[in-house]
Chains A and B, each alone.
Chain A
Amino acid sequence: MKTQSEIKLQSILSAMQAEPLTDETDAVVTGCYISDLLSDVLAHSQPGMLWLTIQTHRNVVSVAATKEIAAVLFTCGRRPEASIIGEAAEEGIVLLTTPLTTYEAAAKLWEAGLRE
């Protein structure tokens, strides 16, 4: 498997068993960051990344917007309220949910070749 620094979300949706929550899903993500602590994400994520978290509070959208994160994948089957999905759509942030655990989802991303 060829590794790459960026990957089309669309190409890994089925591997991650991910369900898009926002309409827009043809985003490209340039790496991944995993954390459930907001300040940690603010400090260590990079713009354009995919963020894996179990947090579904609207502050997730605020943090993602502040850090210009491209997409958020909620793991363990969690999903935010509809109003939060609306806010994300307005900010141009893609939201996805998967029944996989964070670890399983991360493993799928690694297998898909996203190694940053």
Chain B
Amino acid sequence: MNSAPAIQNSAGASDARKVSVAQILVYELRVRDAMSKPLITAAPGDSLRSIQNLMKARRISGVPITEDEKLLGLISIEDIINALSKAYIDESAEKHMARNVIALRDHFSLVRAVAEFDRHEFGRFPVLDSNDHLVGIITRGDITNCLMHHLERRAEEAVAHEATLVAERSADEKAKRVVVRMHVKSGDFDTAGRLSQRIRQVLRDRGIEPDARRRAAIVAYEAETNIIIHSIGGKITATIYPDRVIIEAVDEGPGIENMDLAMQEGWSTAGPLARSLGFGAGMGLPNIKKCSDRFEIHSELGPGTQLHSEILLRKAGTPS
């Protein structure tokens, strides 16, 4: 019975790890990062009409009323509409402003700010610092803008980072060799071709001309299937240098009984399963030899077979 909750826990943990960038930002960013700062305020003695004009001129919908940086109250656009309809627009802010205004602290996280917006349904909150000084005003729009801005920056950083990585990798690969090693199991027809695929990929990335690329891929494929079909298992190492690919296939036996026959086209010892899959054409080793610029094979009954093939590389478009 213990296993079920354990599975649930691990699923929960992996879900928790899949947090979106936006979610992280909402926790990381503070109210002070999102609030509007060139603060537009009015004094308690200012008329509501002057505040209406201020709102119109600055396209804002709420003005904090302050004295010595202390927040006394807030006049919203709703207050102005009421003042117009009830004809007290020329009276002072002090007389009609909302007092006991709920303010946010500048160090609050944006996630907390969003929660306050949800709870109070206000269009805006004044923002106070730890000295109770009014330092800004924040709307839902400010939060959205701030998130969009930071998401964009993160995305640009990610793209830039990716570009550096690609550049570094290609510089690295040009200078150095790439080694691909693979264990090959006897009878494992289903995985044949992986090494060959990887070699093609590296050579294509390096701009190697198609003929050499294909020859290297053929050698790798034939060497790999030889181990699958004929041996009890082995391994292949492909070392890709800037100017050549060296493919070394070593198996653990049983070895080739008659090398002359094995190198002869059409001669094969492949079993019926391999043959039914299209292997056993008797062309594996001849193909490898034909595709190699240098080819060596050594085999002993018992210990097995070692094959060494080299393919010289040229960049596409360079003269031979």
Q: Which residues of A contact B (CB under 8 A)?
A: 36-40, 42-43, 47, 53, 55, 57-63, 65-68
Contact = CB atoms under 8 A, between A and B. Distances in A.
A13 B177 CA distance: 45
Interface string B259-296: 00000000000000000011111111011001000000
B37 to A, nearest CB: 52
Interface of B: 189-190, 192-193, 196-197, 200, 210, 214, 217-218, 221-222, 225, 277-284, 286-287, 290
A33 B306 CA distance: 32
A37 B222 CA distance: 12
A77 B181 CA distance: 38
A66 B283 contact: no
16 contacts: A36-B278, A38-B281, A39-B279, A40-B283, A43-B286, A47-B214, A53-B278, A55-B278, A59-B277, A62-B196, A63-B221, A65-B193, A65-B196, A65-B200, A67-B214, A67-B217
B267 to A, nearest CB: 12
Chain B interface main SS type:
helix
B214 A37 contact: no
B198 to A, nearest CB: 12
A112 B146 CA distance: 64
Given A62-B197, A65-B197, A42 B221 contact: yes
Contacts of A60: 278
A58 B192 CA distance: 9
Given A39-B281, A42-B221, A53-B278, A59 B290 contact: no
Given A39-B284, A40-B283, A66 B278 contact: no
Nearest to A37: B281
A57 B210 contact: no
A67 B279 CA distance: 16
A66 B283 CA distance: 16
A39 B266 CA distance: 10
